[in-house]
Amino acid sequence: MSAFASSGIPFFFLIDFEMQKPLIYTLKEAANLGFKFEINGFKNFTESEKHPNLTPFSIAPVPKKVYKKAFNKVKEEITHGNTFLLNLTFPSEIKNELSFEDIFHLAKAQARKRPFSV
């Protein structure tokens, strides 16, 4: 990163959740590898010629009984003072006919209007 930054070369970096396999590429390399992004109007891709239609999603969450048991355990641990912050998550199967690229082109996220502050 330092070498790119000191040379004035724009770059793309990605840090995995476990922070074990960070990636860094020039913007061209990132685009060639399939990494696409748009940040505040700056993007490394051209608009897709195809305009996919939004299709229904099929979502299969964990059974309510399984979630309720885990949720109650979380409440118990909070009550005992063992944690103050916890993310209770479960995998959910999602089915759709769209490709990842279709979803990318359909997604529209608003940019933050002001910096994040605590």
The tens place of each residue's pLDDT in the chain, 118 residues long, gives 899 999 999 899 999 988 899 999 998 899 899 888 887 778 888 776 677 777 888 999 999 999 999 999 999 999 999 987 888 999 999 998 888 888 888 887 776 666 655 5
Q: Are residues 106 and 77 in contact, defined by beta-carbon separation less than 8 angstroms? A: no
Indicate the pTM of the whole model: 0.56
| Nearest residue to 29 (alpha-carbon basis) of 2, 4, 47 | 4
Q: What is the pLDDT of residue 68?
A: 97
Q: What is the pLDDT of residue 88?
A: 93
| Residue 21: DSSP 8-state | S
CB atoms within 10 A of CB 65: 8
Q: Are residues 16 and 22 in contact, defined by beta-carbon separation less than 8 angstroms? A: yes
Give the whole-angstrom CA distance, residue 20 versus residue 99: 28
| Residue 38: DSSP 8-state | E
CB atoms within 10 A of CB 77: 13
Q: What is the pLDDT of residue 75?
A: 92
Q: Are residues 10 and 39 in contact, defined by beta-carbon separation less than 8 angstroms? A: no
Percentage helix, strand, coil, to 5, in the chain? 30, 15, 55
Q: What is the pLDDT of residue 106?
A: 82
